[in-house]
Structure 1
């Protein structure tokens, strides 16, 4: 429950979280079984009636931080390590300048917020274990349809979900099968993992631990420790691992990525804020992909690749580790994806997923076009 609560986008974090932050605010990033904002809704956060509480959009809730916010005095900023976590304003002064607030409180507890795209993957396992609430279900019904379910007491299966000839192994972590999910024959899922509302698999899909398949997604092949934002497709064979995939993505057959370097050294990725490569310190990191991306068959992405938005790309060789937004063609003979064509294709994918075209679609596309002009050259 959130009363008199709003979320704000720290400009530096928005830049650092590109390309995932182009089409969504920080609180709309997906992790575990929901967006960050939805996670806050499971807590009771009720500032005084005369006070507006403004929370950093990428801040992850926990009982201690919620208690600190409840006790935050009016016109006070809560900070940790120079990062503003939240602040309070008098109702009616929501648009006051943050710098005008005089009172500052240093939070001494453990605060966690998403600073870079790969942080979503770092918190993924804990989020799935915390958020998936197993519930009893009619296991005989699913066994009669040829399903094998190991450790069923650690599973949640919505009554409307359809499973035929699948294997679910929740012995190492819980499994969530949501409303109207359809799992085709031969699907194998190792927990912890979540299939959210309306998602589906193709024949023989292999879903390994720490994976979230977002609402309306269709997946196949092998997926490991990855987060698929809503309405994306990877319907065919190929491997996606240690990756975050945006919305309205369509991966051609056998699209795959590497997620570990041959020399086992830490992975570096392109950082939009720094405009250069950044060492993540992680040994496993695959692909960070924005929204409205289409890949051709046999597309191959190297370890630590970053792909922007509104891209149609293919190649028989490994693709570059950074592909700017509005790139079109078969690498290395790529061109600039023309705005009107990109807008038409984006609208078609939105329609295919039976979603309403956002009124600000053209505006956001223009902003992306301008922001990445230097990258395209």
Structure 2
């Protein structure tokens, strides 16, 4: 059945990660949200509906309207119960979770209808012919929901992806614990490493290189074409996206594609967007000295507010970078395309396009932003497109992000 993934009210709450992408392009577990929905539904989504300034890159809009279509809120992570209900839905039936719409089946849908109704409000329950309620589902409403739920989602994804498939074998001298919970794709290069799946599964995708002395303790997912440097220490709850270069110590974190944490340093309970780079010796505190719950920057209220979380590192938007020996405080929020350097701890909120640290922060000229992105992406044989530039330009001209 045809389906559309749309951005609900959660899109704004997921800044800075969604400043440059729809909610469906968020990564956790073994997949992006879009990839997971498409795998469970057995077909590609016909469209992604997101913010106007993101639409040219991410939306298809090959039609003005659709018949017999499912409209799915991208912020929900599908499970078996939900998928079963979805395939039994009839026209004008809806699935709710905690008074929030997950999916609606429509006999007719137009983009004009979406802009007037679904995107602006949830609708009245009396408008639907039948309502289903889901009691348990992972709902990604804030960035920290990603690392909080990553271990659970990763385990589910591992079962989904590896069921009925046979793992490849490792070459070289390696130490493997609980081999039955380790799945390896082809062309993986390792020697003298430790894979310990005693506490959760380990999935390693194609063409991954893991250098000597590295230790991986599951549950962990390593994306294709990733390189782990000598002596890397990867702990449970961690997902590393494709084409990343990784080193040092990481726990309970999600790193999106094409980002680098190559050198020694600690990263915990954190999210890095795409094209990020942590300089050598960058360390992130994920626990306050007084063991109290953290406060986190709220983009809408432009202030910090308390959240019921003890362990919290950083949330870093796309294309942001830290200089060598940068020390981030607990629960730091960093926008897109920031270049962070200087003595002392940087502020716990760093706006997008910032240059410097606590002693001198200014806005990076836009042509420098584009040039840096172009150079970084060209190093990985990826084109910095006009669409990418237009997204950054829109954000650059927005205030306080």
> Given the two structures, how large is their TM-score scaled by the length of structure 1?
0.91
Residue in structure 2 matched with residue 206 of structure 1 by the alignment: 233
- Larger CA deviation: 172-181 vs 79-88: 79-88
1:44: Cα distance to partner? 3.4
Which among 25, 30, 39 is matched to residue 27 of structure 2?
30
1:53 correspondence with 2:70: yes
* Paired residues of 1:8 and 1:56 also in contact (CA < 8 A): yes
CA separation of 1:318/1:172 partners in 2, compared to 1, >3 Å: closer, same or farther?
same
* Paired residues of 1:17 and 1:272 also in contact (CA < 8 A): no
Distance in 2 (alpha carbons) for counterparts of 1:218 and 1:126: 24
Residue in structure 2 matched with residue 350 of structure 1 by the alignment: 377
CA displacement, residues 147-194 of structure 1 (integer Å, 9 cap, x when unaligned)? 111111110111211111211111111111110001111111111111
SS state at 1:281 partner: coil
CA displacement, residues 183-237 of structure 1 (integer Å, 9 cap, x when unaligned)? 1111111111111111111111111111111100001011111000000001001
Distance in 2 (alpha carbons) for counterparts of 1:301 and 1:318: 6
SS state at 1:124 partner: helix
Which among 2, 17, 22 is matched to residue 4 of structure 1?
2
Distance in 2 (alpha carbons) for counterparts of 1:242 and 1:152: 27
1:365 correspondence with 2:385: no
Residue in structure 1 matched with residue 99 of structure 2 by the alignment: 82
1:110 correspondence with 2:136: yes
Q: How does 1:221-370 map to 2 (within 5 A)?
A: 221-370=248-397
Which among 109, 131, 136 is matched to residue 157 of structure 2?
131
Which among 110, 117, 141 is matched to residue 99 of structure 1?
117
Distance in 2 (alpha carbons) for counterparts of 1:358 and 1:209: 36
Number of corresponding residues:
367
Distance in 2 (alpha carbons) for counterparts of 1:191 and 1:244: 18
Q: How does 1:54-69 map to 2 (within 5 A)?
A: 54-69=71-86
* Paired residues of 1:233 and 1:250 also in contact (CA < 8 A): yes
Distance in 1 (alpha carbons) for counterparts of 2:109 and 2:11: 26
Distance in 2 (alpha carbons) for counterparts of 1:45 and 1:85: 18
1:367: Cα distance to partner? 2.5
CA displacement, residues 21-77 of structure 1 (integer Å, 9 cap, x when unaligned)? 022111111011111111112323799x94111100111101221233233332344
Distance in 1 (alpha carbons) for counterparts of 2:252 and 2:258: 18
* Paired residues of 1:45 and 1:66 also in contact (CA < 8 A): no
Which among 185, 188, 200 is matched to residue 173 of structure 1?
200
CA displacement, residues 301-327 of structure 1 (integer Å, 9 cap, x when unaligned)? 100000000111112211110000010
SS state at 2:345 partner: coil
Distance in 1 (alpha carbons) for counterparts of 2:331 and 2:19: 20
Distance in 1 (alpha carbons) for counterparts of 2:237 and 2:223: 14
Structure 1 residue runs without a partner (length 5+): none
Distance in 1 (alpha carbons) for counterparts of 2:280 and 2:216: 20
Distance in 1 (alpha carbons) for counterparts of 2:400 and 2:200: 44
Distance in 1 (alpha carbons) for counterparts of 2:348 and 2:188: 38
Structure 2 residue runs without a partner (length 5+): 46-65
* Paired residues of 1:243 and 1:287 also in contact (CA < 8 A): yes
CA separation of 1:69/1:275 partners in 2, compared to 1, >3 Å: closer, same or farther?
farther
Distance in 2 (alpha carbons) for counterparts of 1:138 and 1:57: 33
1:350: Cα distance to partner? 1.5
* Paired residues of 1:301 and 1:318 also in contact (CA < 8 A): yes
Distance in 1 (alpha carbons) for counterparts of 2:67 and 2:356: 55
1:41 correspondence with 2:38: yes
CA displacement, residues 117-147 of structure 1 (integer Å, 9 cap, x when unaligned)? 01011111111211224665565x53xx221
* Paired residues of 1:45 and 1:70 also in contact (CA < 8 A): no
Distance in 1 (alpha carbons) for counterparts of 2:136 and 2:167: 37
Q: CA RMSD in A?
A: 2.2
- Larger CA deviation: 333-342 vs 361-370: 361-370
